[in-house]
């Protein structure tokens, strides 16, 4: 399947990626080629096959309900681009 | 017909309202669903957001056992299937209060499916509401919109708090029914001790899916989703507003748009949420960091063993064991605390369940509501109230005096017996003493005595009143009646 | 000294012929002198290394040392290292000082190993040539005009160039084995779940696995011993005892059944590389092994399935890089959407963006079944192929790569041709099996890797099979000439 410019722009928006206009044709071509590679799967009959999400057959382990973490706000917020009064700052969110 | 012309009653005759609720109950776990950070409410911003909650590079989730137990408990309590195998999935979308850019939830295979709950209707009947599913997921953080130089502040303490999302069938037909259902779920999760039910702190909240359709139509109308309703009153008002809005819209030739709306409690109206304008494509897929959750029979059985007596069963027992009316039993089992309180009172008194019920529902709840308290904070505990009722039962005081004693107890003046003693409220049951007082009353009121004897029976009450006044209400009323009658006939 | 194996270094340290500080300093000097040639390090942690080395010397003096105490190593820059920049070779994390240690880092530090620094890699481990790094490409020590392979290209090149005696790597679709092959070293990708993923920055969670990159199988056994084991912080970590990997190294290969999948020897394989592989197989026959032709009929579908599953998982795993809590944030965002789009658009390189977009597309409404579910079904078929094969044989062998190292820039404009360079390694990740690449010879002066694939948790067997070969060959001892 071939993608169009519109498709690439839509996907980039969904993934929240800014793409330079000049780069769009390159992405259109590359992504289309990748999808063509991927579509080799289409010809295989997999009607009775169970999808495999994990390479190992195991079930989820459970953790006891205990508080094990201590406050590390200061340490973590040193990594943040913008904080104030212990809050992470982002451009105004409109609900 | 236009919207303007149609009176409210007429609309109700033409339209059927269809409501489904998605209730979010924060599970009463000490730690987060996928991390060891505390879930305690009210901490300073971001002091309870650990590396996992922040979605730092490289961190991984591990599931909290207690959250699973609590979800299973809920499932069993609503007669649902607790899945032997359920799967966590990622719901992908970008939002600042969602640190990883996805919410870990359950999608195709939830832990609880196919349950139901019966609600009582205003006409005295009842109705079964289907519970489609309940699934485990993590809560998001909070956006604080106070002004940080035109920026929004993000607090991620709540991120990762365990949530049970309880999804109903679109079975409710009015805002009242929706509230009745929500209250019932609220009582249930508190009975099960899986959620503290604190709606102000957001521990229990819901989204309402609302649509209308012409009566008799089987297809659903286009629905809107009202987000984040955190009080029973808001649920009722928001739904009522939304129903009117939709009907008005359709009747004026418009169309309901499927969208997410926000209830503005100040204005009492719902409005479209700009941030959710674009159609969401959540790209759900199984979370590869978590394995399928598999619960065996033994696990589910062990959870079943911990189930308390549920509200409906308790209500039935109160009716049969205590001879209470359906109404009284319903009120007394509305919360586990109240039911426990009532049963303790009955046990202390050693019987008299109806008298106890009247006291708990009357004086006690009246005082609790008046003071705006919750039952656990009430200054008179069940043993103390039982002690007071005992004094009515053994004729130490009359019911009327007991009310005064209760007020003194509420004011913190001590136990019933001590107050009765200190204030000399003990009932006078000495027949000779009562007789003497009656004689005095009759002697003091010759004119009334004459009128009574001439046939003015109504004056009997007057004499009783005088006797009670003379004894400051302490004379045993039955004895007063009996002796007075003899004297008046004599 | 730079030719010594881990065991030899361990002996020298315990015999006090050399101190950890001396050894560490020697490697730091060598990195200083030669590191730029291969560009294999992103960060060299001189001070921390010497602190760790001094502590190691004290442990050795106190008689509390283990076999790895005092030995230097390098970590791929995908492992979080407390207080040290952990960049994943991305502009996005260029300023990210990890606030905690990955389990692998913690374990190796606890064993007394000394971290020399963090190695270069493809950005977020997405690449097969190490050309997608924000810090520039790594050069192959055997030929600086050629790629070292990827994504653990820095680790492979550093080990090959003797800048470190050992390194950690991660393998999502061949990222340990392919660079190990192209740089002529030994690399092992363990069974999925054998080594903790905690603190290892995720690319594709159901495929990622960390492993040792060393010069010999014996060294790999030593390193894996310290890396492997259950970690309660990783839900996909397997709670299963770790065998003594060195105990079985000397087992005889007599009667060993080696499966040769015909799909791995088809027309896609370079003829000269094929000849080297054939010679290696002859060597195994001389060691008493028997070769059996087998088929892995769905092998050809592994690249297509992988390029749905890995991008899908990565599109979600990389959503956390949004310029809010850590990492790159664009200048003066106009609004929230602008913050997201430009921080991510500017912070990620082209290949990462490509894969995020492929994954976003594959998971989106209307395509999920045709792409994601289909790929998971193909994954099941590929896994079943291996299950059937291991009923017949003990190990599977074949080439690790279709050809020797290609030239820098040769495949950068054509992602699909780049992807196909992992054609022999990807299926192993989809199935979650352990795989290895060991040096098996040269074509035109460039190393060729022989791939060994084992059944689940058969790392000890793979190490034994590799070690026996290395006892009778010296390909793994060859060093690239210093420029």
- Among chain C residues, the shortest Cα distance to B95 is held by C336
pLDDT band for position B278 (cuts 50, 70, 90): low
Residues of chain A with pLDDT under 50: none
Please tell me the predicted confidence (pLDDT) of residue B274: 63
Question: Touching check for A62 and chain B: CB below 8 Å?
Answer: yes
- Among chain B residues, the shortest Cα distance to A10 is held by B281
Question: Touching check for B365 and chain C: CB below 8 Å?
Answer: no
How far apart (Å, rounded) are the C-alpha atoms in residues A41 and C371?
Answer: 9
List, as ranges, residues 130-159 from B with C-beta within 8 Å of C. Answer: 154
List, as ranges, residues 71-90 from A with C-beta within 8 Å of C. Answer: 72, 75-76, 78-82, 88, 90
Check whether B3 has a pLDDT greater than 80.
no
Mind listing the pLDDT tens digit for each residue in C292-328? 999 999 999 999 999 999 999 999 999 999 999 999 9
Per-residue pLDDT, averaged over C160-174, amounts to 98
User: Quick check: A65 and B67 CB within 8 A?
Assistant: yes
CB pairs under 8 A between A and B: 128
Please tell me the predicted confidence (pLDDT) of residue B1: 37
User: Quick check: B148 and A84 CB within 8 A?
Assistant: yes
As separate numbers, helices (DSSP H) first and strands (DSSP E) second, chain A gives 3, 3
- Is C128 designated active site? no
A52 CA: distance to closest CA in chain B (Å): 10
Per-residue pLDDT, averaged over B50-55, amounts to 98
Mind listing the pLDDT tens digit for each residue in B232-248? 999 999 999 999 999 99
- Is C377 designated active site? no
Question: Touching check for A81 and chain B: CB below 8 Å?
Answer: no
Residue C12 CB-half CA count within 13 A: 18
Mind listing the pLDDT tens digit for each residue in C351-373? 999 999 999 999 998 899 999 99
- Among chain A residues, the shortest Cα distance to B96 is held by A90
Mind listing the pLDDT tens digit for each residue in B6-44? 445 455 568 999 999 999 999 999 999 999 999 999 999
Please tell me the predicted confidence (pLDDT) of residue B275: 54
pLDDT band for position B169 (cuts 50, 70, 90): very high
Chain A positions touching C419 (Cβ under 8 A) are: 34, 37
Question: Touching check for A40 and chain C: CB below 8 Å?
Answer: yes
Per-residue pLDDT, averaged over C24-46, amounts to 97
CB pairs under 8 A between B and C: 95
Mind listing the pLDDT tens digit for each residue in B200-222? 999 999 999 999 999 999 999 99
Please tell me the predicted confidence (pLDDT) of residue B198: 94
User: Quick check: A60 and B293 CB within 8 A?
Assistant: yes
How far apart (Å, rounded) are the C-alpha atoms in residues B327 and B124?
Answer: 9
DSSP states along C223-261: HHHHHBS--TT-TT----PPP-TTTTTT---TT-EEEEE
Q: With CA atoms as reference, report the closest residue to C277 among C450, C96, C74, C457.
A: C450
Burial class (CB in 10 A: 0-12, 13-18, 19+), C287: middle
Residue C331 CB-half CA count within 13 A: 0
B280 CA: distance to closest CA in chain A (Å): 9
Give Cα separations from C47 to A75, C115, C116, C117 (angstroms).
21, 10, 9, 10
Please tell me the predicted confidence (pLDDT) of residue B110: 98
Mind listing the pLDDT tens digit for each residue in C83-97? 999 999 999 999 999
Please tell me the predicted confidence (pLDDT) of residue B12: 57
Mind listing the pLDDT tens digit for each residue in C36-60? 999 999 999 999 999 999 999 999 9
Give Cα separations from C105 to A19, A29, B249, C109 (angstroms).
36, 40, 62, 6
Of A23, A31, A78, Cβ closest to residue C358: A31
pLDDT band for position C268 (cuts 50, 70, 90): confident
Question: Touching check for B94 and chain C: CB below 8 Å?
Answer: yes
Q: Which residues of C420-444 are buried (b: 16+ CB within 10 A; e: fewer)?
A: bbbbbbbbbbbbbbbbbbbbbbbbe
User: Quick check: A88 and B156 CB within 8 A?
Assistant: yes
How far apart (Å, rounded) are the C-alpha atoms in residues C193 and C151?
Answer: 20
Question: Touching check for B357 and chain C: CB below 8 Å?
Answer: no
- Give the relative orientation of helices B175-191 and B336-349 as an angle to the nearest 10 degrees: 60
Pairing of strands C257-261, C290-294: parallel
How far apart (Å, rounded) are the C-alpha atoms in residues C469 and C478?
Answer: 15
Q: With CA atoms as reference, report the closest residue to C92 among C340, C359, C343.
A: C343
| Catalytic residue selected from C38, C76, C129, C343 | C76
How far apart (Å, rounded) are the C-alpha atoms in residues C186 and B127?
Answer: 70
pLDDT band for position B473 (cuts 50, 70, 90): confident
Chain A positions touching B262 (Cβ under 8 A) are: 95
The listed CATH number (3.90.1300.10, 3.30.420.10, 3.30.420.40, 3.30.2270.10) that belongs to domain C6-253: 3.90.1300.10
Check whether B123 has a pLDDT greater than 50.
yes
Please tell me the predicted confidence (pLDDT) of residue A2: 81
Check whether B225 has a pLDDT greater than 50.
yes
Per-residue pLDDT, averaged over B47-52, amounts to 98
Please tell me the predicted confidence (pLDDT) of residue B4: 41
C161 CA: distance to closest CA in chain A (Å): 34
| Subunits with 3+ C-beta pairs closer than 8 A to B | A, C
Question: Touching check for A19 and chain C: CB below 8 Å?
Answer: yes
pLDDT band for position B453 (cuts 50, 70, 90): confident
How far apart (Å, rounded) are the C-alpha atoms in residues B208 and C20?
Answer: 66
pLDDT band for position B5 (cuts 50, 70, 90): very low
Please, what is the average pLDDT of chain B? 91
Q: With CA atoms as reference, report the closest residue to B156 among C309, C18, A72, C466.
A: A72
Per-residue pLDDT, averaged over B109-136, amounts to 94
How far apart (Å, rounded) are the C-alpha atoms in residues C159 and C153?
Answer: 10
- Is C237 designated active site? no
Please tell me the predicted confidence (pLDDT) of residue B6: 43
List, as ranges, residues 289-308 from C with C-beta within 8 Å of A. Answer: 298, 300-301, 303-305, 307-308
User: Quick check: B56 and A76 CB within 8 A?
Assistant: yes
Of B58, B102, B288, Cβ closest to residue C80: B58
Residue C196 CB-half CA count within 13 A: 28
At a CB cut-off of 8 Å and minimum separation 6, what does C252 contact? Answer: C288, C468
To probe the interface with C, which of A3, A6, A15, A76 has the most C CB atoms within 10 Å?
A: A15
Question: Touching check for A22 and chain C: CB below 8 Å?
Answer: no
To probe the interface with A, which of B40, B62, B152 has the most A CB atoms within 10 Å?
A: B152
| Subunits with 3+ C-beta pairs closer than 8 A to C | A, B
- Among chain C residues, the shortest Cα distance to B94 is held by C319
Give the percent of chain C with pLDDT over 90: 97
| Catalytic residue selected from C10, C129, C175, C237 | C175
Per-residue pLDDT, averaged over B297-304, amounts to 97
Chain B positions touching A68 (Cβ under 8 A) are: 31, 36
Please tell me the predicted confidence (pLDDT) of residue B396: 86
Question: Touching check for C422 and chain B: CB below 8 Å?
Answer: no
Among B275-289, B329-343, C114-128, C170-184, the minimum mean pLDDT is found in: B275-289
Q: Where do runs of H (alpha helix) occur along B255-379?
A: 297-305, 311-322, 326-332, 336-349, 353-359, 365-371
Q: With CA atoms as reference, report the closest residue to C79 among C35, C46, C34, C45.
A: C45
Phi/psi region, residue B465 (left: phi>0; alpha: psi -120 to 50; beta: rest), is alpha
Contact present, C480 and C161 (Cβ < 8 Å): yes
Of A59, A66, A85, Cβ closest to residue B291: A59
| Catalytic residue selected from C20, C38, C151, C315 | C151
Per-residue pLDDT, averaged over C442-459, amounts to 98
Q: With CA atoms as reference, report the closest residue to C218 among C259, C189, C247.
A: C247
Of B44, B51, B292, Cβ closest to residue A59: B292
- DSSP-derived letter for residue B423 is T
User: Quick check: B101 and C204 CB within 8 A?
Assistant: no
Chain C positions touching A46 (Cβ under 8 A) are: 374, 377-378, 381
């Amino acid at each position: 399947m071939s993608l169009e410019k519109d498709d690439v722009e839509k996907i980039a928006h969904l993934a929240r990626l800014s793409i330079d206009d000049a780069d769009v044709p390159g992405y259109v071509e590359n992504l289309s080629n990748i999808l063509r590679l991927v579509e080799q799967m289409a010809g295989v009959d997999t009607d009775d096959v169970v999808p495999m999400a994990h390479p190992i057959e195991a079930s989820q382990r459970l953790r006891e309900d205990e508080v094990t973490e201590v406050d590390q706000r200061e340490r973590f917020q040193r990594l943040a681009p913008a904080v104030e009064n212990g809050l992470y700052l982002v451009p105004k969110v409109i609900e | 017909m236009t919207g303007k012309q149609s009176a409210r009653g007429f609309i109700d005759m033409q339209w059927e309202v269809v409501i489904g609720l998605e209730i979010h109950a924060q599970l009463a776990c000490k730690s987060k669903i996928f991390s060891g950070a505390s879930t305690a409410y009210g901490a300073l911003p971001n002091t309870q957001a650990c590396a996992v909650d922040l979605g730092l590079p490289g961190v991984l989730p591990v599931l909290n056992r207690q959250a699973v137990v609590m979800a299973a408990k809920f499932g069993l309590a609503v007669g649902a299937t607790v899945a032997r195998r359920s799967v966590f999935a990622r719901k992908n979308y970008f939002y600042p209060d969602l640190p990883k850019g996805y919410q870990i939830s359950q999608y195709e295979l939830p832990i609880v499916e196919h349950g139901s709950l019966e609600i009582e209707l205003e006409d005295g009947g009842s109705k079964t509401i289907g519970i489609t599913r309940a699934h485990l997921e993590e809560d998001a953080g909070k956006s604080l919109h106070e002004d940080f130089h035109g920026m929004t502040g993000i607090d991620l303490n709540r991120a990762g708090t365990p949530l049970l999302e309880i999804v109903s069938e679109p079975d409710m037909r009015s805002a009242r029914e929706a509230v009745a259902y929500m209250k019932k779920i609220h009582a249930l999760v508190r009975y099960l001790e899986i959620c503290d039910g604190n709606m102000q702190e957001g521990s229990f909240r819901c989204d309402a899916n609302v649509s209308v359709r012409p009566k008799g139509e089987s297809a659903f109308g286009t629905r809107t989703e009202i987000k984040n309703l955190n009080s029973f009153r808001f649920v009722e008002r928001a739904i009522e507003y939304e129903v009117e809005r939709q009907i008005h819209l359709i009747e004026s030739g418009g169309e309901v748009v499927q969208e997410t709306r926000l209830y503005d409690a100040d204005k009492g109206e719902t409005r479209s949420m700009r941030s959710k304008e674009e159609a969401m494509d959540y790209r759900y897929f199984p979370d590869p960091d978590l394995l399928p959750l598999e619960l065996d029979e033994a696990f589910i059985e062990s959870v079943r063993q911990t189930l308390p007596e549920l509200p409906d069963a308790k209500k039935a027992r109160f009716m049969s064991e205590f001879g209470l009316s359906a109404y009284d039993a319903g009120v007394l089992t509305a919360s586990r605390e109240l039911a426990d309180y009532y049963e303790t009172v009955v046990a202390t008194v050693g019987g008299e369940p109806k008298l106890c019920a009247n006291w708990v529902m009357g004086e006690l709840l009246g005082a609790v509501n008046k003071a705006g308290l919750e039952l656990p904070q009430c200054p008179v505990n069940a043993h103390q109230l039982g002690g007071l009722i005992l004094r009515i039962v053994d004729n130490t005081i009359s019911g009327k005096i007991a009310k005064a004693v209760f007020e003194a107890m509420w004011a913190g003046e001590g136990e019933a017996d001590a107050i009765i003693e200190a204030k000399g409220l003990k009932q006078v049951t000495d027949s000779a003493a009562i007789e003497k007082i009656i004689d005095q009353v009759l002697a003091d009121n010759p004119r009334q005595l004459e009128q009574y004897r001439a046939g003015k029976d109504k004056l009997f009450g007057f004499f009783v009143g005088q006797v009670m006044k003379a004894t400051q209400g302490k004379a045993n009323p039955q004895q007063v009646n009996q002796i007075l009658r003899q004297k008046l006939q004599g | 000294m730079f030719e010594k194996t881990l065991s030899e270094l361990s002996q020298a340290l315990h015999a006090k012929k050399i101190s950890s500080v001396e050894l560490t300093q020697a490697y730091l000097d060598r990195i200083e002198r030669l590191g730029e040639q291969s560009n294999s390090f992103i960060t060299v942690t001189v001070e921390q290394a010497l602190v760790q080395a001094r502590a190691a010397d004290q442990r050795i003096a106190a008689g509390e040392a283990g076999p790895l105490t005092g030995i230097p190593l390098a970590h791929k820059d995908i492992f979080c290292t407390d207080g040290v920049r952990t960049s994943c070779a991305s502009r996005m994390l260029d300023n990210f000082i990890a606030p905690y240690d990955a389990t692998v880092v913690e374990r190796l530090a606890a064993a007394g190993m000394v971290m020399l620094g963090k190695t270069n890699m493809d950005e977020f481990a997405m690449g097969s040539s190490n050309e997608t790094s924000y810090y520039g490409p790594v050069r192959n020590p055997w030929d600086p005009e050629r790629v070292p392979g990827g994504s653990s290209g820095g680790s492979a090149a550093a080990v090959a160039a003797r800048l470190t005696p050992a390194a950690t790597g991660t393998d999502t679709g061949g990222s340990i084995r392919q660079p190990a092959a192209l740089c002529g070293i030994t690399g092992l990708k363990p069974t999925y779940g054998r080594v903790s993923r905690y603190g290892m920055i995720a690319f594709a969670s159901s495929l990622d696995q960390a492993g040792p990159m060393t010069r010999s199988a014996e060294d790999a056994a030593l390193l894996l011993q310290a890396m492997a084991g259950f970690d309660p912080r990783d839900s996909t970590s397997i709670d299963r005892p770790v065998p003594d990997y060195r105990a079985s190294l000397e087992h005889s290969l007599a009667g060993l059944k080696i499966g040769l999948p015909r799909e791995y020897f088809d027309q896609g394989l370079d003829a000269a590389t094929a000849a080297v592989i054939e010679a290696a197989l002859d060597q195994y026959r001389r060691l008493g092994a028997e070769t059996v032709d087998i088929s892995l009929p769905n092998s050809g579908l592994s690249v297509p399935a992988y390029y749905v599953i890995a991008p899908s998982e990565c599109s979600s795993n990389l959503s956390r890089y949004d310029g809010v809590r850590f990492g790159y944030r664009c200048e003066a965002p106009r609004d929230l959407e602008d913050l997201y789009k430009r921080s991510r658009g500017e912070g990620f390189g082209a290949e990462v963006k490509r894969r995020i977009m492929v994954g976003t597309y594959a998971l989106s409404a209307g395509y999920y079944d045709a792409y994601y579910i289909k790929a998971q079904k193909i994954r099941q078929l590929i896994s079943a192929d291996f299950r059937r094969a291991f009923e017949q044989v003990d190990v599977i062998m074949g080439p690790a790569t279709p050809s020797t190292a290609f030239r820098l820039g040769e495949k950068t404009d054509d992602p699909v041709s780049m992807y196909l360079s992992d054609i022999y390694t990807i299926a192993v990740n989809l199935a979650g099996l352990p795989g290895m690449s060991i040096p098996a010879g040269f074509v035109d002066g460039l190393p060729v890797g022989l791939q060994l694939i084992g059944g689940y948790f058969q790392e000890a067997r793979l190490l034994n099979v590799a070690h026996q070969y290395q006892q009778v060959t010296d390909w793994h001892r060859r060093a690239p000439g210093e420029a």
